[in-house]
Amino acid sequence: MATVLIVDDDAALREGLAETLTDLGHAVRTAASGREALAAISRDTDAVLLDLRMPGGIDGIEVLRRIRAREDAPAVVVLTAYASPENTIEAMRLGAFDHLVKPIGRDTLSSLLQRLPPRATGTSGQTTSTAEGLIGTSEAIRRVQKQIGLAADAEATVLIRGETGTGKELVARALHVHSHRSRAPFVAVNCAAIPQELLESELFGHVKGSFTGASSDRAGAFRDAGNGTLFLDEIGDMPLAMQAKILRALQERVITPVGGKPAQVSVRVVAATHRDLAKLVASGEFREDLYYRLNVVPIELPPLRERTDDIEPLAEHFLSQASHGRPRPQLTRAAAEKLRHYSWPGNVRELRNVIERACVLTRSPMITADDLVIGDETWANDGAVPSSDLPAAVAELEARMIRHALDACAGNRTEAARRLNINRQLLYAKMQRYGLAED
């Protein structure tokens, strides 16, 4: 049997939870505000069910912070009817046992109390920013939000995996801004976008005269980040020779600038990839020791097609961003259904692109299904029937596919090349051939 304190300003909800918990065999106390809750907690309190929004000047986050600062802190489960990335991440970071969305059923309560941990001394801290972009209430994205909160203040390396366009850098930034390193720099490096011969200098820096073109000293990303966070995006594309140097930097916290002497670093590394690193290890394309060094805390970002409940909230968010001061247009029901039933191979990035295009091209206060140009419709809207001359028709189709891939990837050529299954050099050559480079 557990002693549970229910904290909520809604009397009906307090009574309902109390009745259910009593029926399950637990002792129950209640409080209607944050101040009452802090006064009611005693050494025999095993768990607190805590609402986030309460009157009286002390909200749920502040109550959580004060409870977790106690020597013998009980487990705290945050309850809210208004879950957001910010309050989910912050609650988990401050030590909440879980973060649940009302209403809470009997089976959920029973399972929750069976999982209660022993008491532990809490932690405290302040949030410095939001997790804008990690929008949604699906179980898949809420799992990610909770993992961010749990991992934010850890020193362990985090490996974020997800398809192109799912928002891996957003997760890395959220880990940074909700950590104690948030006042230090966040530095992002796309390992796939930098030529192999320049990557070492980009990451570790160089000294003046160490190679042709090194006209001055350069600190490099590891030292630019200082005591902050270094985000290594698309680390699965990093050359093997460079992987060995990254491993040493992670293990020994030492880097060697090109032409320079070893230097200590204290940065936290967060890495990301759209590739399956375990398969790359098996094929000899990625170092096994580096894989395990990176994969201490894995976070898997779901593709948008697996979180369809989040499509409309994301679209509404992008509409607000793209309206640029004018009244925000509204999605018709048919438009929302069209968004929901598309597979989104370009994920959240592609959705943002579609919404921004509709905002630019539509002056009506309502965005209809016809206003949303999605997927292969881009080709259909290009106009004429392909040429009857086969080489010309092939070239026309190729140009359309390249344009479509670039649109879906928001102009990111590295991502577009990967999506088309060709290398970057070939993509650049074809863009020049079809006059797309200027666009």
For the chain, the domains span 3-114, 151-300, 304-374, 380-433
**Tokens for 274?**
């759209």
137: CB partners within 8 A, 6+ apart: 83, 101, 309, 310, 313
CATH code, residues 3-114:
3.40.50.2300
Cα–Cα distance, 291 to 293 (Å, whole number)? 5
pTM of the model: 0.68
**What pLDDT is stored for residue 124 in this prediction?**
37
DSSP string computed for 87-126? HHHHHHHTT-SEEEESS--HHHHHHHHHTPPPP-------
Q: Name the fold adopted by 380-433.
A: Arc Repressor Mutant, subunit A (1.10.10)
Class of the domain covering 304-374: mainly alpha
**What pLDDT is stored for residue 120 in this prediction?**
41
Chain centre to alpha carbon of residue 148: 8
pLDDT of the chain, 439 residues: tens digit per residue: 788 999 999 999 989 999 999 988 888 999 999 888 888 888 888 899 999 888 777 888 999 999 988 877 888 999 988 888 888 888 888 889 899 988 888 888 888 887 776 554 333 333 333 455 588 889 999 999 999 999 998 999 999 999 988 999 999 999 998 899 988 999 999 998 888 888 999 999 988 888 877 788 888 999 999 999 999 999 999 999 999 999 999 999 999 999 889 999 999 999 999 999 999 999 999 999 999 999 999 999 999 999 999 999 999 988 988 876 678 889 999 999 999 999 998 899 899 989 988 888 877 788 988 889 887 665 445 444 455 566 766 777 788 788 877 877 778 888 888 878 788 888 888 888 777 876 5
**Tokens for 130?**
């939001």
Cβ atoms 113, 47 nearer than 8 A: yes
Q: Using CB atoms within 10 A of its CB, is residue 39 exposed (0-12), middle (13-18) or buried (19+)? A: exposed
Cα–Cα distance, 169 to 167 (Å, whole number)? 6
Cα–Cα distance, 230 to 85 (Å, whole number)? 22
Q: Which residue has the tokens 């206003």?
A: 371
Q: Where are the beta strands (DSSP E) in 94-249?
A: 98-101, 158-161, 186-190, 229-233
**Tokens for 185?**
């720099």
Superfamily classification of domain 151-300? P-loop containing nucleotide triphosphate hydrolases (3.40.50.300)
